[in-house]
Amino acid sequence: MLSGTDFARPLHPDAARSLAARAFRLLRLALIGVIVLAVVLSFWLSSVFVLLQGLAVALIGVPALAALRVLLDAALTVIAELHDEKAGGTRSVS
């Protein structure tokens, strides 16, 4: 059993070096773990953002393309009617 005086004695130099080496290895391992975790989270978050961006494009882009198609169809109809009026004929637009 350890007593309070066991902690007051200085460490043997070999034990101190061993303890310092062990602490350094643990610190290096923790640093490597933090870097790996940061890289993994970075890739995961970037994939989540890419998915969210794709969803936003789909939610905004599909109605925008439909509206653009309606506008293009209306513009082509007006151009066709103007062309028919200029040519002197009438055209039924359905």
- d(C-alpha 40, C-alpha 17), whole Å: 34
Domain carrying residue 45: 12-87
pLDDT of residue 88: 76
Look at residue 43 and tell me if it is in a domain.
Answer: yes
pLDDT of residue 59: 82
pTM: 0.45
Structural domain count, the chain:
1
pLDDT of residue 29: 92
Look at residue 75 and tell me if it is in a domain.
Answer: yes
Residues with pLDDT less than 50, the chain:
none
CA distances from 87 to 12, 79, 80, 93 (A): 108, 12, 10, 16
The region that residue 2 occupies, defined by phi over 0 for left and psi between -120 and 50 for alpha, beta otherwise, is: beta
Look at residue 94 and tell me if it is in a domain.
Answer: no
CB 84 within 8 A of CB 91: yes
What is the per-residue pLDDT across 62-88, written as a single tens digit (0 to 9) for each?
888 888 888 899 999 999 888 888 887
